[in-house]
Homo-oligomer: A and B are copies of this chain.
Amino acid sequence: MTLSLTVSGQQFIAGRRVASGEATLPSLRAADNQPTGYRFYPASREEAAAAAVAAGQAFPIYSQTSPEVRARFLDTLADELDLLGEDFFAIAHQETALPLPRLQGERARTSHQLRMFAGLLRRGDAFGVRIDTALPARQPLPRPDLRQYLTALGPVAIFGASNFPLAFSTAGGDTASALAAGCPVVVKAHPGHMATAELTARAIARAVEKSALPAGVFNMIFGTDIGAELVRHPAIQAVGFTGSLRGGKALWQIAQQRPRPIPVFAEMSAINPLIILPQALASRAETLAKELVASFTLGCGQFCTKPGLILALRGEGFSRFTQALKDAVNPAPAQTMLNAPTLAHYEEDVRALEAHPDIQRLAGADEFISGRAQARLYQAPASLLLAQDPLLQHEVFGPLAVLVEVADEAELQSILRALQGQLTATVHAESDDGPLAQRLLPALSEKAGRVLFNGYPTGVEVCDAMVHGGPWPATTDARGTSVGTQSIERFLRPVCLQNVPAALLPPAVQDANPLNLLRLINGQWTREAVSPSVD
C-alpha cells in the first residue's frame, strides 16, 4: 500500500497542528509489526499542558452552550465520521488487523453513539432538574427557592482502547459522553492506531469548525509516556480510560495524588464468569461448548467482555461438554492480535498458566506460533478459585478460557463470593434451573455490572439501559457505565441555585420550562411550568 493519506503526525491543540522535535513514533502494522510509513511526534510536556489549557479555555463557553447546539455538533461529527472512506478503513485495518466488516460495523456503532447523545440532549433527560419552590410562610423558618440542575464537570482527558479503534477511542463513548455533557476533551491517542486516530481527530476538528465552537473543545496528543502529564494538569477535571488494570490503576493513582484529586472512570479488567446450570448442561452441552468457544475466540478474544471463566456444575453432561469444548478449541485457527505487545502479554499469560502446578491445559497448542495467537482452554480446580489464586482472577486478553467444575450450589455461592468485580456475569439455565438461578441472582448482581441469561457477554448494546461497568477491578467506580446514555452522568455534577433572581436562571430551571424537561417540582415529576407553591 502506498502512503496515499495526508498524515502529519502532529498534535491537535485548539484547532492547530503543533509539533516540536522529531517524529519518532512509528505507526506499525499489526500483522507483522513493520512500519506503515506514517510517523508521529511525541507530545512534549509543554504541548500536553497546552492541550489541557486549550480545553480549559474552551470550557466557559462550551459548557454554557445550549443542548441543541451540542446536539447539532454531535450530529455533525457523526456525519463526518460516516464520510470516512476506504483509505481510512485500509489504514485502520493495517494498524489493528481487525477485519474490514468489523471496522465498518464499529464505525456505524460510533456514529450511532454520537447521534444517541444528540437525541439524549434533545430529550433533555440529562439535566436532572429538581425544584423546590419557596415557602415564605413556613414555620419555624421559611423555605428558600431551590433549583438544582446538572452542569459540566470540566475538561476531560481521554485514553482510548487498543481493541476498539473507533467505538472506544478518539471519537468513542468517553468522548461522545463528555462532549454531550459540555466538557471539552483532550484525547491521548492510542499508540496502537495513531494514523486511525489522526484521521478520526481530523473529522472531529472539522465538526468543531463547522459548528463554530471554540477550537479547544477538542484536542489530541500523541505519545507513550505523556498521559501522566495530562492527568496531572490542573485544567483537567476528570479522566476516561479503557484499557488494562495496570494502566488504569496507574492513571488513577496519579489523579489521586494531585493537590486537587479528580475522578478517573477507568474500565479495566474482568474475567466475565459464565455459569452453566445442571439442566442447561444436560440438555445442550455440545451447543453450549461450540457457542462458547466461538464467543471467547471471537476477534481473537480481544473483548473486555470475553467470557474467560467457565463455571459448570458437576453432573450429567459435564464430560460431553468438556469434550465438545476441546473439539472446538483444537481446530480454531490462529489469529493476528492487535499489536505485538498484546501478543507478548498473551504469551506471558499462557506461560504463567502452563507453569501453575494445579492448572491443566485441556486444548490448544503447547507451542507458540510466531506472530499469531492460538486458542487455548485450561481447567482449574474450584479450590483454586476459593483460595483467590491471583492467576485465576487475572484477565487474559486473548482467545483463552479456564474451565472449573463446581461441586454444588454451596460451592458455587462460595466461588461467587470469592470473585472480584466483573463487567458481566452470564448464566445458562433451562426452566428446571430457575430456582437455583433465582438464588444466584443477588450474588451475581453484587459482583457484576451486567447479568445475562442464555447468551454471551461480548455484544454491548448502545442504549439507555446498558451498564458497561462494575465493581473494582472491572472499573474504578461501580456507580458508572462507559456505554449507553447513562455514561454522560460521569461528567456532570449537581449545582443548586438558591433564591437566584428569575432573570438570571439558566433555561433548564426557569419557571416556564423552555427546554420542555421532565422536572421534579415539589416532589412531583412534571413537564409543566413552575407555579408558586402555597404555604
Which A positions have Cβ atoms within 8 angstroms of B? 60, 63-64, 105, 119, 123, 125, 130-132, 140-141, 143-144, 146-148, 151, 153-154, 253, 256, 260-263, 420-421, 429, 434, 437-438, 441-443, 445-446, 448-455, 459, 461, 463-467, 469, 471-473, 476-479, 481, 486, 489-490, 492-501, 503-504, 518, 520, 523, 525
Contacts and interface: CB of A to CB of B under 8 A. Distances in A.
A434 B473 CA distance: 49
Contacts of A494: 449, 467, 469, 479, 481, 486
Nearest to A494: B467
A450 B64 contact: no
Given A452-B144, A500-B451, A501-B434, A151 B445 contact: yes
Given A479-B494, A497-B451, A438 B130 contact: no
Contact of A131 (B261, B420, B465): B465
Contact of A496 (B465, B499, B523): B465
A496 B130 contact: no
A455 B500 CA distance: 10
Contacts of A421: 260
Nearest to A438: B504
Contact of A500 (B130, B256, B452): B452
- For this chain, the copies found in one complex come to 2
A452 B451 CA distance: 44
Nearest to A467: B496
A445 B494 CA distance: 9
21 contacts: A130-B465, A132-B461, A144-B452, A146-B461, A148-B465, A148-B466, A148-B486, A253-B256, A256-B256, A445-B495, A449-B493, A450-B495, A451-B496, A454-B499, A455-B499, A464-B520, A465-B520, A466-B496, A467-B495, A469-B494, A478-B493
Given A132-B465, A261-B476, A441-B500, 19 more contacts: A64-B442, A119-B523, A131-B465, A132-B463, A143-B461, A146-B463, A146-B466, A147-B465, A441-B504, A445-B495, A449-B494, A449-B495, A450-B497, A465-B496, A465-B520, A469-B494, A479-B493, A518-B525, A525-B525
A124 to B, nearest CB: 10
Contact of A434 (B144, B476, B503, B525): B503
